[in-house]
Chains A and B, each alone.
Chain A
């Protein structure tokens, strides 16, 4: 069974500094995808970044990068140059092949990020 663990219930960061949000996962499927979503207080899930299990390089999307350590089963999100608008809940999620050509997402518990001016 899949499992996603986010051990940081809350994180604080100063504006313009970098912050790392932790995520570890467990799956027996060799093919899987890892996603990070941002959920502001309005409720919508906003896709940030994706890392595939077979990807050779760490994913980057603008100010977001993923520190993927496959052997340790971790996929930490790094946000550089934090902005006040980054304050939100952040979820790590995983999809594996699940024997189908699509798969459901399994989410971690989330981390609330607060950016201070």
Chain B
């Protein structure tokens, strides 16, 4: 059974039109992460939540926002998508437990901007 679920799997949006990607988890993990992965590149962390505590990476553009209304759900909002925001967006979760803690990933949402 899938433990980290991302919807939709594929999203096409228009240039400048706000879009929201969603992630849900059944693991009851405290920490949820959003990564951006452009074609043939390493995933890059955008931000993460520790419970309701939001942590933004220093180089994450202001165009990217996130919400976590409860433990199970986390959303990625892109306010005005540009062509350069086309990428795979990966959601991951982990418990609090030190360096050994495994991160569990969803299947990703592939975003296309037209």
Contact = CB atoms under 8 A, between A and B. Distances in A.
Instruction: State the main secondary structure of chain B at its contact with A.
Output: loop
Interface size class of B (residues with CB under 8 A): 20 to 34
Interface size class of A (residues with CB under 8 A): 20 to 34
Contacts, number: 73
Contact of A107 (B42, B50, B95): B42
B17 to A, nearest CB: 23
A97 B107 contact: no
A50 B45 contact: no
Given A102-B31, A104-B45, A43 B88 contact: yes
Nearest to A101: B96
Contacts of B104: 47
Nearest to B104: A47
Nearest to A54: B99
Given A43-B110, A107-B42, A102 B105 contact: no
Interface of A: 4, 31-33, 35, 37, 42-47, 50, 52-53, 91, 95-97, 100-105, 107-110, 112
Given A47-B104, A96-B99, A102-B30, 9 more contacts: A31-B99, A35-B103, A44-B105, A44-B106, A52-B99, A97-B99, A104-B45, A105-B45, A107-B43
